[in-house]
Structure 1
Amino acid sequence: MNVGQLISGKEFAVLPHEASIKEVAYAMEINSVSSVLLKGEDKIIGIITEKDIVRAVSKGLDYTQPAINIASKDIIKVDYEKSIYDAYEIMMKNNIRHLIIEKDGKCVGVVSIKELIKALSLMLAETMTY
Structure 2
Amino acid sequence: MRVADILKKKGSSVVTLPSAATVGQLLETLDDNKIGAVVVVEDDQCIGVVSERDVVHHFRTGRDLSSTVAELMSPDLHPVAAQDDLVELARTMTERRLRHLPVIEDGNLRGIISIGDVVKARLDALEAERDMLEDYLRR
Q: 1:116 aligns with which of 90, 115, 118?
A: 118
Counterparts of 2:127 and 2:63, CA distance in 1:
44
Identity %: 24
Match of 2:51 in 1: 49
Matched residue, 2:137: none
Q: 1:14 aligns with which of 8, 13, 16?
A: 16
- The runs of 5 or more residues in structure 1 that have no matched partner are none
SS at 2:113 equivalent? strand
Distance 1:112 1:73 in 2: 17
- When structure 1 is superposed on structure 2, of 18-27 and 102-111 the one drifting more is 102-111
Deviations 1:19-63 (A, max 9, x none): 111111111111222111111224111110111112223333111
Q: d(CA) in 2 for partners of 1:40 and 1:87?
A: 26
Match of residue 36 from structure 1:
38
Partner of 2:69: 67
Residues 1:99 and 2:106 are matched in the alignment: no
1:10 Cα deviation from its structure 2 partner: 4.5
How many residue pairs were aligned?
130
Does structure 2 retain, via aligned residues, the 8 Å contact 1:28–1:35?
yes
Structure-2-length-normalised TM-score: 0.84
Q: Secondary structure at the match of 2:49?
A: strand
Find the aligned partners of 1:111 and 1:84 in 2 and give their Cα distance: 10
Please, what TM-score do these two structures have when normalized by structure 1? Answer: 0.89
Runs of 4 or more off by more than 4 Å in structure 1?
A: none
Give the structure with higher Rg (CA): 2
Mapped partners of 1:22, 1:4: distance in 2:
33
- Root-mean-square deviation (CA), in Å? 1.6
Q: 1-side partners of 2:107 and 2:19: how far apart?
A: 20
- Unaligned 5+ segments in structure 2 are 135-139
Other-structure match for 1:3:
3
Q: Distance in 1 between matches of 2:114 and 2:88?
A: 14
